[in-house]
Amino acid sequence: IGGHPKPQQGPMKVAGVDRILAVGSGKGGVGKSTVSSNLAVALAKQGRKVGLLDADIYGPSQPRMMGVNKRPASPDGKTILPLHAHGVTIMSLGFMLEEDKPVVWRGPMLMGALQQMLTQVQWGDLDVLIVDLPPGTGDVQLTLCQKTELTGAIVVSTPQDVALLDARKALGMFDQLKTPVLGLIENMSVFHCPNCGHEAHIFGQGGVAAEAKKLNMPLLGALPIDLETRLAGDGGTPIATGDSDMAKAYARIAEGLIK
């Protein structure tokens, strides 16, 4: 990865890929990558051919979350063979970098890398390619929305005011770029105490649902704060691989994504 791919004319399709769904957020740490990996796994469990492109170039987390990290092969020095885990075809810039080294690249290099991950990776025939975007409204989001035919975007937020404020900016960006927003996902919406069953609304209550209603957008799901989800992600086997309530919640969201 590197170099300067030819500039693209107009939005491009990725060969063999039926739909591209981008998962965005206004700020980091709200669970965008967790949601991306779990939706990818849930869709794969439903028999879909699924790809996961980790476009969070500054902090690629999919190698860890999907439990796969090695340098992809490039038999001809041009095409890149993606990796596979949990039934999902995966490409991440993280596969090409050392985990603890920061990415200090300028915009054009980032965009080059993103375009190469879309066009040079042998995705094969996919029903859906999930793109885990970096947080915010920067170069990568712009390039992806303008140069690629996106089927739609999903915005993940916690119910906290500061997260919602930034989520609104991400929604505004998709609107400006004419990328249809499929809906919002509220993550970390509630914490059920495992000892006493008490429900604690650590980041506030119902903020994303209220926002979705205000904007006349679907709320695709509300996911609680869940220790197992965090452990599963850190361990490289997303919670959606199992059959817990959380896995079922992801399955329900996934079902609604492809009609």
Minimum CB–partner distance for residue 113 and ligand ADP (Å): 18
Task: Choose between 179 and 229: whose C-beta lies nearer to ligand ADP.
Answer: 229
Minimum CB–partner distance for residue 124 and ligand ADP (Å): 26
User: In sequence order, which residues have a C-beta less than 8 Å from that of residue 96 and are 6 or more positions away?
Assistant: 1, 71, 72
Count of residues for the chain?
A: 259
The contact set with ligand ADP (CB under 6 A) reads 25, 28-34, 61, 135, 187-188, 223, 225-226, 229-230, 233
33 annotated as ligand-binding: yes
Q: How far apart are CA 192 and CA 201, in angstroms?
A: 9
Task: Give phi and psi for 141, each to the nearest 5.
Answer: -60, -45
27 annotated as ligand-binding: yes
Minimum CB–partner distance for residue 137 and ligand ADP (Å): 14
Q: Angle at which helices 207-214 and 161-176 pack, to 10 degrees?
A: 30
Task: Choose between 82 and 134: whose C-beta lies nearer to ligand ADP.
Answer: 134
Minimum CB–partner distance for residue 25 and ligand ADP (Å): 5
Task: Choose between 49 and 250: whose C-beta lies nearer to ligand ADP.
Answer: 250
User: In sequence order, which residues have a C-beta less than 8 Å from that of residue 240 and are 6 or more positions away?
Assistant: 37, 38, 39, 41, 42, 45, 246, 247, 250, 251, 254
Minimum CB–partner distance for residue 5 and ligand ADP (Å): 26
Task: Choose between 80 and 220: whose C-beta lies nearer to ligand ADP.
Answer: 220
Task: Choose between 40 and 80: whose C-beta lies nearer to ligand ADP.
Answer: 40
Question: Would you say the C-alpha torsion 88, 28, 25, 99 has a positive or negative sign?
Answer: negative
Q: Strands 199-200, 181-192: parallel, antiparallel or unpaired by DSSP?
A: antiparallel
28 annotated as ligand-binding: yes
74 annotated as ligand-binding: no
Summarize the annotated binding site for ATP as residue ranges.
26-33
Summarize the annotated binding site as residue ranges.
26-33
